[in-house]
């Protein structure tokens, strides 16, 4: 495992991290699925230990994942290991059977206390506002909360998990004020919108966490139009047959590179992201030991010519795909 510095902090993070959303298991808010379907805690724990064996030291979760179960599982499994870097988030909430947001100072402070208890830790290494928008940052309460938590030693560093489709306004808001220490953002073969942000984030000393590297599994190449998801899996509404079919066709030129590099589609997808040195870590979604191995082996740097080819697709053919993906949420 290779490690990268997280911005201007003293954190040295594994270039592949453990995305712990899926181990939260099936969770519903009203009739809306916010999880990845059923998960077996025993297998999830095996996956966590497999990740440690492979050198993964960065685990990313959120209080909304499994409505707290993801944090609880990490707390039961790795709470005593101070070499493990834990990142979690607050701001997404379940209220009256509805998905909502709360970035008030009172909520963020309380949410942090609950996360610390579930994680069985005295300090959260990296705490994130979960997709807060500019209006919430301008109101100031969430910023005050994060700064207070950092001053009290309950949070070492903090930052923002950016919006999937429009990440720039909030990142620019924080960078102009030199607030926070990092950003979590979406970058993958299809969604390249944040590429201009990578350089400015690095130049300003912010660490970069990449999520959705495999676009909910779409970029592993294992899905076709016949795939189906359970009602308690959020992908049921996101990875529609149209999305899968359109994406697979648009990606055909990229998958040709698998022959050149003698790699799987998963390895190519992850290696594409790691080819950008500004990226600190990729939090690949993991819930089985097999996925740990798939996500951590055979990674490499793409040639500049191949990066340029993929960039050209991102500015042309992939635009149609991203419009379709955005429609599904």
Digit-coded pLDDT (tens) for 224-239: 877 888 888 888 888 8
Q: Tell me what pLDDT residue 194 has.
A: 94
Q: How far apart are CA 289 and CA 44, in angstroms?
A: 8
Per the domain annotation, does 252 fall within a domain?
no
Q: How far apart are CA 228 and CA 239, in angstroms?
A: 9
29 torsion bin: left (phi>0), alpha (psi -120 to 50), beta (else): beta
* The total number of structural domains that make up the chain: 1
| Average pLDDT of the residues in 236-249 | 89
Q: Tell me what pLDDT residue 122 has.
A: 94
Q: How are beta strands 155-161 and 98-101 bridged, if at all?
A: unpaired
Q: How many CA atoms lie within 13 A of 102 on its CB side?
A: 15
Range of the domain at 196: 3-218+275-298
Q: Tell me what pLDDT residue 228 has.
A: 82
Q: How are beta strands 98-101 and 92-95 bridged, if at all?
A: antiparallel
What's the mean per-residue pLDDT of the chain? Answer: 94
Closest CA to 248 of 262, 265, 233: 265
Q: How confident is the model at residue 127 (pLDDT cuts 50, 70, 90)?
A: very high
Digit-coded pLDDT (tens) for 63-111: 999 989 999 999 999 987 889 999 999 998 888 788 889 999 999 999 9
Q: Tell me what pLDDT residue 94 has.
A: 83
3 torsion bin: left (phi>0), alpha (psi -120 to 50), beta (else): beta
Digit-coded pLDDT (tens) for 147-166: 999 999 999 999 999 999 99
Per the domain annotation, does 268 fall within a domain?
no
Per the domain annotation, does 156 fall within a domain?
yes
Alpha-carbon separation of residue 76 from 70, 81, 125 (angstroms): 10, 11, 17
Per the domain annotation, does 244 fall within a domain?
no
Per the domain annotation, does 282 fall within a domain?
yes
CA angle, 275 as apex, 269 and 277 as ends, to 5°?
135
Q: Tell me what pLDDT residue 291 has.
A: 95
- Looking at per-residue pLDDT, the higher value among 1 and 79 belongs to 1
Per the domain annotation, does 239 fall within a domain?
no
**Per-residue H/E/C for the chain:** CCEEECCCCCCEEECEEEECCHHHCCCEECCEECCECCCCHHHHHHHHHHHHHCCCCEEECCCCHHHHHHHHHHHHHHCCCCCCEEEEEECEEEECCEEEECCCHHHHHHHHHHHHHHHCCCCEEEEEEECCCHHHHHHCHHHHHHHHHHHCCCEEEEEEECCCCCCHHHHHHHHHHCCCCEEEEECCCCCCCCHHHHHHHHHCCCEEEEECCCHHHHHHCCCCCCCCCCCCECHHHHCCHHHHHHHHHHCHHHHCHHHHHCCCHHHHHHHHHHCCCCCCEEEEECCCHHHHHHHHCCCCCCCHHHHHHHHHHHHCHHHHHHHHHHHHC
| Average pLDDT of the residues in 211-222 | 92
Q: Tell me what pLDDT residue 18 has.
A: 97
Per the domain annotation, does 258 fall within a domain?
no
Q: Tell me what pLDDT residue 82 has.
A: 82
Q: Tell me what pLDDT residue 278 has.
A: 97
pTM score: 0.95
Digit-coded pLDDT (tens) for 281-307: 999 899 999 999 999 999 999 999 999
Per the domain annotation, does 259 fall within a domain?
no
Q: Tell me what pLDDT residue 37 has.
A: 82
Q: Tell me what pLDDT residue 95 has.
A: 83
Q: Tell me what pLDDT residue 36 has.
A: 81
Q: Tell me what pLDDT residue 153 has.
A: 97
| Average pLDDT of the residues in 185-203 | 95
Q: Examine the pLDDT at 56 and tell me if it is beyond 80.
A: yes
Tell me the CATH number at 284. Answer: 3.20.20.100
């Amino acid at each position: 495992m290779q490690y990268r510095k997280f911005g201007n902090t003293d954190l040295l993070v594994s270039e592949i991290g453990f995305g712990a959303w899926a181990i939260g298991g099936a969770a519903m808010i009203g009739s809306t699925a916010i999880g990845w379907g059923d998960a077996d805690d025993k297998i999830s724990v095996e996956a966590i230990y497999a990740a440690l064996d492979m050198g993964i030291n960065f685990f990313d979760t959120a209080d909304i994942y499994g409505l707290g179960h993801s944090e609880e599982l990490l707390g039961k499994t790795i709470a005593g290991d101070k070499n493990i870097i834990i990142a979690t988030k607050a701001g997404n909430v379940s209220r009256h059977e509805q998905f909502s947001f709360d970035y008030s100072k009172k909520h963020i402070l309380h949410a942090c206390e609950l996360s610390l208890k579930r994680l069985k830790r005295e300090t959260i290494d990296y705490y994130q506002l979960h997709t807060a928008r500019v209006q919430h940052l301008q109101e100031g309460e969430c910023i005050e909360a994060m700064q207070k938590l950092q001053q009290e030693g309950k949070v070492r560093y903090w930052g923002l998990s950016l919006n999937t489709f429009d990440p720039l306004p909030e990142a620019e808001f924080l960078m102009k004020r030199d607030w926070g220490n990092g950003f979590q953002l979406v970058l993958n073969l299809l969604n390249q919108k944040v590429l201009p942000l990578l350089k400015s984030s690095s130049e300003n000393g912010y660490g970069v966490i990449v999520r959705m590297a495999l676009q909910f599994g779409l970029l592993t190449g294992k899905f076709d139009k016949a795939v189906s998801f359970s009602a308690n899996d959020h992908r049921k509404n996101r990875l529609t047959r149209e999305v899968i079919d359109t994406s697979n066709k648009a990606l055909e030129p990229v998958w040709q590179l698998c022959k050149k590099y003698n790699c799987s589609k998963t390895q190519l997808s992850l290696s594409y992201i790691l080819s950008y040195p500004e990226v600190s870590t990729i939090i690949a979604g993991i819930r089985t030991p097999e996925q740990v191995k798939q996500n951590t082996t055979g990674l490499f740097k793409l040639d500049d010519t191949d990066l340029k080819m993929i960039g050209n697709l991102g500015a042309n053919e992939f635009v149609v795909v991203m419009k379709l993906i955005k429609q599904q949420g």
